[in-house]
Structure 1
Amino acid sequence: MSASLTLTGLYIYPVKSLGGYAVAEADVTARGLRHDRRWLLVDERNRFMTQRQHPELALLTVAPAYNGFLISHRQRPELLPLFIPFEATPNKTLFVTVWDDILWAWRGAKEADAWFAEALDRSCRLVYMSDMVRRDVEPELNPEGQLVSFADGYPFLVAGEAALADLNTRLAQPVPMDRFRPNLVFGGGEAYEDDNWEQFQIGETMFRAVRGCGRCVLTTIDQQTATKSPVGDPLRTLATYRKAENSTLFGQNVTGPGRGRLRVGDALTVVSRK
């Protein structure tokens, strides 16, 4: 029997690969937490941009605002914060590429494109995923049909505080949870106990842990300074004891019921295990 488990953190990242922010409660939608990764920056070829190739994206912070959010540059205070609404105004569309998926998206405001071009010193566009867009989650593992936003592959990422604490005992320099960009953080239990979860419930909302999350170079980028670890940590250290099928695992890729409401402090109950 697991020790008492609790939802201790809820995080939303309105623009893929930019900063996120904590919330006390959040709605569950068909694509993940409401407003999570519905916006995306694309390059001149309309291909998605992430910190993997552009670590400077970590310098763009996101803060909640009325019916939207504000983006600021950590190191350029002369750039006035940019307001972006939670939803785009239907206007021009274009096709964008996220990994192997080609999707249509609404164009953001030209003023936003200009702000990002100045902040990042490169041409880019801001686009939005409409509710009319269908992007499926690994059909071979999710036959019931699940949707995802512009997130890498799954609508939710779950990570445990005990796992981070265990990792930090192995590192020369401890890292915060933001290196792993989870949506749902839980406290209690043993390190990595989520490895064998299948069905679990937070409050009144049921979720399914599908598979471990394979981590990438983004975990080596300091989210405050956009600098990469010179020794490749924490990924290098994780790979010494969390390797499975050529992936280095931390946290769980998770699907949800499409609706519900979560609050920090909700009890988490493991219903079934793999």
Structure 2
Amino acid sequence: MLISEGSLADVNKKLPSGVSKVTMDQFRPNFVASGCDAFDEDSWKDVYIGGVKYTNIKKCDRCILTTVNPKTGTKHPDMEPLKTLRSYRLIVPEFDQAPCFGVNFVADWTGNIHVGDEILATK
């Protein structure tokens, strides 16, 4: 699962006033991309990280676990950030009320990857 820092910044900008910003940990991604616009990852067909090619299989539909702080285990009383994401990220009709945030990729072959590896994307 891959999310861009731009996407996280976008949801934090849209959270209601007084609601604490969410962290990437709440979405539990395997990969975090930087240097791109919010939700660019939605349109990426393939990504190359280190020696591995990954293929986009679907947008990630988000559930109630995004409302749980992974450090404290407490659930947000107002269902944030899920509530905010539902206001503008219900983009896959088959997902019903589950908003999309991040993209699921599958490895096309095995190889070595490292923290800090460049992420190259194709559309």
Same fold? TM cut 0.5? yes
Q: 1: distance between equivalents of 2:71 and 2:120?
A: 34
Alignment of 1:42-121 (within 5 A): none
- Asked whether 1:264 is paired with 2:115, we answer yes
Q: Give 1:265 shift.
A: 1.9
Q: 2: distance between equivalents of 1:220 and 1:159?
A: 17
**Could you say which structure has the higher helix fraction?**
2
- Asked whether 1:200 is paired with 2:44, we answer no
Task: Give the TM-score taking structure 2 as reference length.
Answer: 0.88
Q: 2: distance between equivalents of 1:204 and 1:186?
A: 16
- Asked whether 1:184 is paired with 2:28, we answer no
> Can you list the C-alpha shifts for 1:97-117, whole angstroms capped at 9, x where unaligned?
xxxxxxxxxxxxxxxxxxxxx
Which runs of no fewer than 5 residues in structure 2 stay unpaired?
none
SS at match of 1:189: coil
Paired amino acid for 1:212? K
Q: Give 1:258 shift.
A: 3.7
Cα RMSD after superposing both structures? 1.1
Q: Which residue, 11, 21, 30 being the options, matches 1:174?
A: 21
Q: Give 1:268 shift.
A: 1.3
Q: Give 1:269 shift.
A: 1.3
Q: Relative contact order (C-alpha < 8 Å, sep 6+): which is higher?
A: 2
- Number of matched pairs: 116
Runs of 4 or more, structure 1, over 6 Å off, are none
Specify the structure having the higher radius of gyration (Cα): 1
- Asked whether 1:165 is paired with 2:9, we answer yes
Match of 1:216 in 2: 63
**Could you say which structure has the higher strand fraction?**
1
| Identity within the alignment, % | 37
Q: 1: distance between equivalents of 2:37 and 2:87?
A: 19
Which runs of no fewer than 5 residues in structure 1 stay unpaired?
1-156
Q: Which residue, 91, 100, 104 being the options, matches 1:253?
A: 104
Q: Which residue, 205, 226, 241 being the options, matches 2:73?
A: 226
Q: Give 1:204 shift.
A: 2.6
Q: Give 1:257 shift.
A: 2.2
Q: Give 1:203 shift.
A: 2.5
Whether contact under 8 Å (2:52, 2:109) holds in the other structure is no
SS at match of 1:243: coil
Q: Give 1:167 shift.
A: 0.8
Alignment of 1:21-32 (within 5 A): none
Paired amino acid for 2:10? D
Q: Give 1:170 shift.
A: 1.4
Q: 2: distance between equivalents of 1:257 and 1:187?
A: 22
Q: 2: distance between equivalents of 1:265 and 1:216?
A: 28
Paired amino acid for 2:107? G
> Can you list the C-alpha shifts for 1:36-79, whole angstroms capped at 9, x where unaligned?
xxxxxxxxxxxxxxxxxxxxxxxxxxxxxxxxxxxxxxxxxxxx
Q: 1: distance between equivalents of 2:48 and 2:9?
A: 23
Match of 1:79 in 2: none
